[in-house]
Amino acid sequence: MNYSSSNRGFPAGNPIANALVVLVGALAVGASIVLGFFAFLALSALILVFAAIIGIRVWWFKRKLRKAAREGEATGTERASAPDVIEGEFRVVHRRTDSRRPGGE
């Protein structure tokens, strides 16, 4: 069913009430825009601070890597003559056979 109404405007017939509805609506829209703008600024500032922190951390890490690489080049001739042997100990662990288990393992 298609219902149609000839009164598609404001629900109140009073022009003062209509003006108040328009005024309150305009204030609500304006307040939403202003609050949205400030929320955008706050979020942008937060993202900028995090980006700066990450950028400084990456710069610091690269600086440490360059410094370590320079120190490694300085001592590289001494390390090249050393053998590449990793020393360690080990112990052989035998598996206990259990006759109660099927297969004897």
Regions of the chain short of the pLDDT cut 50: none
Q: Is residue 62 part of a domain?
A: yes
Can you give the residue range of the structural domain that contains 27?
15-80
In the prediction, which pLDDT does 65 show? Answer: 93
In the prediction, which pLDDT does 43 show? Answer: 97
In the prediction, which pLDDT does 91 show? Answer: 87
Residue 45 CA to residue 36 CA, distance in Å, equals 14
In the prediction, which pLDDT does 87 show? Answer: 83
Q: Is residue 89 part of a domain?
A: no
pTM score: 0.48
Domain count across the chain: 1
Q: Are 21 and 12 in contact (CB under 8 A)?
A: yes
Q: Are 84 and 77 in contact (CB under 8 A)?
A: no
Q: Is residue 55 part of a domain?
A: yes
In the prediction, which pLDDT does 32 show? Answer: 98
In the prediction, which pLDDT does 13 show? Answer: 79
